[in-house]
Amino acid sequence: MTSQQGCPFCEGPGGRVVFEGAKLRVVHAEEAGFPAFYRVIWRAHAAEFSDLDAADRVLCMEAVTVVEQCLREHLSPDKINLAALGNMVPHLHWHVIARFAGDTHFPGSVWAPVQRQANAVQVAAVAARLPGLEREMMGRLGTRSF
């Protein structure tokens, strides 16, 4: 596995680890107002998705798909946001975020200006469902060679 000195995802988990595989990990990101914000982080340092070979690109997207499916099945969000920007941290990672019409930034991206105050009841209700969602996610990811 290659790593790069000074890269936060090479030097640390990038969030609370939900699943750790040989090629990638899934973490829960602590992002205020977004209780269902996950990252799929490629273990080896790669800046771009096209740096991966074809088989690894498929594997990576399968993990993103599993995370998305678990979010949809357990939370019934209004939308799932997927993003692989890497402008701030040029280490391949996908953001997989369950979005709700009442969240602070909806319908804008999570990085857009705030639209409204957080709905504490909604945030707490979503957060309460995360343990079950994460058990399901770990189970599905654990059956594959991630």
Position 2 scores a pLDDT of: 80
Name the residue ranges covered by the structural domains of the chain.
8-142
- Work out whether the CA dihedral 107, 102, 80, 113 comes out positive or negative: positive
Does the domain made of 8-142 have the CATH classification 3.30.428.10? yes
CA 135 to chain centroid: 15
| Dihedral pair phi/psi, residue 33, rounded to 5° | 85, -5
Position 1 scores a pLDDT of: 57
Secondary structure element (H or E) that encloses residue 131, with its range: helix 120-142
Give the tens place of pLDDT for each residue, 94-120: 999 999 998 999 999 999 999 999 999
Residue 95, token pair as written in the block: 């953001």
Q: What is the DSSP letter of 15?
A: S
pTM above 0.85, yes or no: yes
CA-based nearest residue to 104, from 123, 86, 117, 94:
117
Position 143 scores a pLDDT of: 86
